[in-house]
Amino acid sequence: MPPRFTHRKSTTGCLRCKARKVKCDEQRPDCSHCTRHGVTCEWPTLKPRMYNPDKPKAVTRRVVQPSPRPSLPSPELGSMRILEMRLVHQWVTETCNTMSSAKIPTMARMWGVSVPKMAFEYEPLLHTLLALGAAHRSTLLPQEASALRPVYHGYIDSAIQRHRPVTAQLDETTTDAVCFNTVLLSLYTLFLRSEPSKLPYNPPVMWLTLAQGIRTVIKSVYTQLVANNSPLCPLLFAAPDVWRSADREERIYTGPMKPLQFLLHYRQEDDAMDQATLEVYEEAVAYIERFYIAVQKGEEDYLLRRMFSGFPPVIPQAYIGYVAARRPRALVILAYAFALIHEHDDIWWLRGIPAREVEGINSLIPPDWKWLMIWPCHVIAVGSAQGQEVPIPRTSTVVSEVHTPSPIQVT
């Protein structure tokens, strides 16, 4: 009779491999067996075995001599389990502190304590944290970047796949975690803009869309979040740090209160805008003007990054459609947003992105609109928007003859 080969039993394999009684390689988020068969890979909740000296031993046929020093049993830890532990550690010790709002103590605790706690109860959020931890680690350790890239791509794909069905039917048990996951998914898609690509430039529509989802999700459950004193409340109640009143701005800022109105009026007669379209642009420009004033006042880096991140969630959804359609006015407004944050991009999830986006947008702008791109290209060239006065066109259709030196060719 041929010898019977056995394998070491896995205690942490996926449910499908256990049901089929085959060895699971425990690759996350999908093991190789499930990937090969094209089926969903589901995992059991990990329940560590705790040693209990008072629990009676199970009776077996073999007589086992008692050990003088009973050891503590533990679950098997494969390479992926160790990687996950390392990435969770990465989040709670470093990555959480890189969130724009983490400078505020209550919000630092929110990102470092409340969010990981919820992640262990809501798997999509856990996978997003693992993806962000891996992405952050790849920027800190370039020698690991190529190995970590498929890791964070895999986790984020799993997070999005499991997150979308839940957003359609929120309940009190998942509301907080879903909101946090929506915020972090938008941050991740922004980070992806830093990855090199050989493809022609495309506007950051995915980032704008996912960030807009923050507004949609939170708006639908805002009353519930406040009534339940949600862990998300520090983020919601911190809004006054970003939204300065007009009176306060007027006492501190001595320049024009509406310095970017030319973005609305330039070539307006050729743009064929109806009233609804004009109102969409007015909201977008009004936000960028507040952002511009905050930069000129010299607000702290973390506040300016919060204002930048807050742009997509508060603008009308129609504006994102205009960007996707590559309307020149919408693209130029977006270029001004990226130019304003350029000096303050020294954070792993934003580093280098503003310059790349301004350059990419400039490549899409028709010649008749190039005049509007002189200022953002100049800001990228000199490295800062602070102290850089915006141009004032003589008419709405005349292109300025002023040339601003820039490494990004305006024409």
- Spatial separation of the C-alpha atoms in residues 197 and 306, rounded to whole Å: 27
- Spatial separation of the C-alpha atoms in residues 75 and 71, rounded to whole Å: 13
Domain identity same for 257 and 199:
no
**Three-class SS of residue 50?**
coil
Residue 5, in any domain of the structure:
no
Domain identity same for 306 and 211:
no
Which of 219-223, 255-259, 266-270, 351-355 is predicted most confidently?
A: 351-355
Query: Higher pLDDT residue, 34 or 116?
Result: 116
What total of structural domains would you count in the chain?
2
Q: What is the pTM of this model?
A: 0.74
**Residue length, the chain?**
411
> Residues 23, 7: contact at Cβ < 8 Å?
yes
Domain identity same for 362 and 306:
yes
Residue 64, in any domain of the structure:
no
pLDDT single digits (tens) 313-344: 999 999 999 999 999 999 999 999 999 999 99
Domain identity same for 165 and 304:
no
At residue 331, the pLDDT reads: 98
Domain identity same for 166 and 198:
yes
In this predicted structure, which of 223-237, 271-285, 340-354, 394-408 has the lowest mean pLDDT? Answer: 394-408
Domain identity same for 187 and 221:
yes
Residue 48, in any domain of the structure:
no
Q: Domain boundary at 192, 214, 237, which?
A: 237
Residues 272-300: what's their mean pLDDT? 93
Residue 308, in any domain of the structure:
yes
Quote the tokens at residue 371: 């005049």
* CA proximity to 98, closest of 64, 132, 126: 132
User: 326 is in which domain, residue-wise?
Assistant: 247-382
- Spatial separation of the C-alpha atoms in residues 206 and 204, rounded to whole Å: 6
At residue 306, the pLDDT reads: 92
Q: Domain boundary at 190, 215, 237, which?
A: 237
